[in-house]
Structures are given as structure tokens and as C-alpha cells.
């Protein structure tokens, strides 16, 4: 069982799948959504090169999809791949999704207070209100908040909801859950890239998204779904929504998206660096050299 994390993973995962008779399970909390292709940099049919991919493009943008849902669906996909005599390759960098598999953490569905959630959502509508919620969440769970952006409304509210529903913060729940047996044997690899090159790659990727029609994609989603899509809170979408509302200029939107993505990549790296079990691959190396390292592992 292999897990690949961070930028540049698509090409290497597909080439690896060819060489080890593998199939790929996406571990990306945004690529699950239908109609959201450009802003999530979703793998195309051409890029797949005939390799079967799971957990991509199957949830409506206004539907709720939890970490528990992912763990259930990912383990079903793992069993399906193993039944074929193939190797599951899990690809993506959504931290909670990764934790639910490699540590067996159970993020149980909780009896959330709908009235409390609505009050949090209302407070989060303003910049000042969201900032207050962020500070409140930091007091409750400083460790979890290390990798959560001040603008990440969805995850800030999640931290507060978990504490309200259980009396324990998310980090405490993860520690308790890790005591359980792990269902599969994982080897975890991450691709390391020099920071300036990574940021340059991010900036170019954002520019390409707008060239490909990200603004039109967001317009179409907002027109298609009557309820405001949950997925619109994701990086790459909330910035465009702000622009369409007239809150920022196009130039401000583009720069904000680049900045938010760079900050996310930095927090992601911090989170991965804490995991001593990760084997790091060098992005500057030839792809086959990195694949050889994986295959020897």
C-alpha cells in the first residue's frame, strides 16, 4: 500500500502504477466534487493514461462529505483493487484523509447542534467575525490550528463544532483513536521541492487556471446548484466568489489566490515534516530514480 503526497505527484503516481500494476485512489478533499475541475487541478482522462482512478468526481458541490465517508469509501476501493491482484496507490495531500487511513483515526459522525453551526456560519460571514472564531479555535486546539488558515471557514468551524459536541478537541480525539489497530500496511512518500521553485510552480498553476476558465467554472456552479455549495469554501473558489460579488478586483483575486495557495503549501509541509515515517523523494531527481526508490521500499 503506497501513499504519495504533495505537488508533482500526479505524473509519478501514474508512471508508478504502470510499473507495479497499480490503481490510484485520490486522497484530495476537493477533487471528489463534480463540476469542479479547473480549480482542483483534477486529473484528466488523457493524463490518467488508462490507469483506473477512484474517489474523483462523484460528490455534488453542495453535498456534505465527511472524513468518515472518505475512510469508508477509500477502504472499499482498496479492497476492490486488492481483489484484482493489484497495488493500491493513494495520492493526495488532504491531511485528515491521510490520517484516517495511515493511522486508522476514526472521525466519528457526531450529533452536531444545527443552531450552533448556523450561529458560527453567521459570525464567519464577516472578516472580523471569522478572525474571532479563529482565535477561539486556537485556544481550544492550538495544535490542530497550526495547519489551518485564518480564512479557512470550513475547518475553523469544524474544530469548534467537534469541541462543542464532544467536550474534547480534535487533537485529543485523534490521540485516542490512534490506539486502534491499523487495517493496512502503508508506505508513505512525499515529494520535496525547493521552496522558491514550489512557489513559482504554484503561481504558474494559478495563472493557468484562469486561462482555462476558472471564473466561468465558478459561475456555472453557482447557477447550477440552488444551495450555496459547501465546496465553494475551498481555496481557488472562495476567492473567485469574492470577485464575482464585487468585493475585490480581478488582480486582487488572483494575487490572493496565489498567496493562499502558497500559505497552504507551507502549512502542509509543516504538517508532513512532523511525520517521521514519511520517506522523502527529491523533485529534482529523474522520475525513474524516485520510482526505483519506491519500488525498493
Instruction: Compute the distance between CA of residue 1 and CA of residue 185 in angstroms, rounded to an integer.
Output: 6
184 neighbors 274 (Cβ within 8 angstroms): no
Cell of 80: 476492490
87, containing H or E segment: strand 87-91
Confidence of residue 169 (pLDDT cuts 50, 70, 90): confident
pLDDT reported for residue 229: 64
pTM: 0.81
pLDDT digits (tens, 9 = 90+) for 222-236: 999 877 667 788 889
Question: Taking the mean position of all CA atoms in its chain, how far away is CA 111?
Answer: 24
Q: Over 60: is that where the pLDDT of 111 sits?
A: no
Residue 7 has what DSSP assignment?
T
pLDDT digits (tens, 9 = 90+) for 146-157: 878 888 888 898
Cα-based distances in Å from 105 to 2, 21, 229, 276 = 18, 28, 27, 17
75, containing H or E segment: helix 67-83
Cα-based distances in Å from 279 to 188, 272, 282 = 6, 10, 10
Nearest Cα to Cα of residue 285 among 294, 277, 275, 274:
294
Instruction: Give the least confident one: 144-148, 258-262, 282-286.
Output: 144-148
pLDDT reported for residue 7: 67
- What is the chain's mean pLDDT, rounded? 88
The class of domain 2-106+180-296 in CATH terms is alpha beta
pLDDT digits (tens, 9 = 90+) for 51-103: 999 999 999 998 888 888 999 999 999 999 999 999 999 999 887 788 888 87
Instruction: Compute the distance between CA of residue 57 and CA of residue 52 in angstroms, rounded to an integer.
Output: 13
114-176 folds as Histone, subunit A (1.10.20)
Domain boundaries, the chain: 2-106+180-296, 114-176
Confidence of residue 2 (pLDDT cuts 50, 70, 90): confident
Alpha-carbon torsion angle 153, 110, 140, 138, nearest 10: -20
pLDDT reported for residue 258: 96
Q: Over 90: is that where the pLDDT of 203 sits?
A: yes
pLDDT reported for residue 109: 57
Amino acid at each position: 500500500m503506497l501513499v504519495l503526497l504533495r505537488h508533482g505527484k500526479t505524473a509519478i503516481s501514474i508512471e508508478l502504477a504502470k510499473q507495479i500494476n497499480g490503481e490510484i485512489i485520490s486522497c484530495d478533499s476537493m477533487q471528489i466534487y463534480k463540476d469542479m475541475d479547473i480549480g482542483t487541478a483534477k486529473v484528466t482522462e488523457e493524463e490518467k493514461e488508462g490507469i483506473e482512478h477512484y474517489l474523483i468526481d462523484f460528490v455534488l458541490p453542495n453535498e456534505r462529505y465527511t472524513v468518515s465517508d472518505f475512510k469508508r469509501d477509500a477502504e472499499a476501493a482498496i479492497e476492490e483493487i486488492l481483489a484484482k491482484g493489484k497495488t493500491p496507490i493513494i495520492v493526495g495531500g488532504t491531511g485528515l484523509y491521510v490520517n484516517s487511513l495511515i493511522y486508522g483515526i476514526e472521525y466519528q459522525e457526531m450529533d452536531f447542534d444545527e443552531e450552533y453551526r448556523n450561529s458560527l456560519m453567521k459570525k464567519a460571514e464577516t472578516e472580523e467575525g471569522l478572525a474571532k472564531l479563529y482565535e477561539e479555535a486556537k485556544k481550544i486546539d492550538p495544535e490542530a490550528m497550526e495547519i489551518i488558515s485564518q480564512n479557512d471557514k470550513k475547518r475553523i468551524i469544524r474544530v469548534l463544532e467537534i469541541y462543542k459536541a464532544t467536550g474534547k478537541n480534535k487533537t485529543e480525539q485523534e490521540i485516542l483513536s490512534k490506539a486502534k489497530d491499523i487495517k493496512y500496511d502503508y508506505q508513505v512518500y512525499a515529494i520535496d521541492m525547493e521552496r522558491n521553485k514550489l512557489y513559482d510552480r504554484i503561481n504558474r498553476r494559478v495563472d493557468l487556471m484562469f486561462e482555462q476558465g476558472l471564473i466561468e467554472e465558478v459561475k456555472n456552479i453557482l447557477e447550477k446548484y440552488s444551495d450555496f455549495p459547501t465546496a465553494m469554501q475551498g481555496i481557488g473558489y472562495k476567492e473567485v466568489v469574492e470577485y464575482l460579488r464585487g468585493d475585490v478586483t480581478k488582480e486582487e483575486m488572483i494575487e490572493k489566490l496565489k498567496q493562499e495557495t502558497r500559505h497552504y503549501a507551507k502549512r502542509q509541509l509543516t504538517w508532513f515534516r512532523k511525520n517521521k515515517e514519511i520517506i522523502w523523494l527529491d523533485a529534482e531527481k529523474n522520475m525513474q530514480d524516485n520510482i526505483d526508490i519506491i519500488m525498493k521500499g
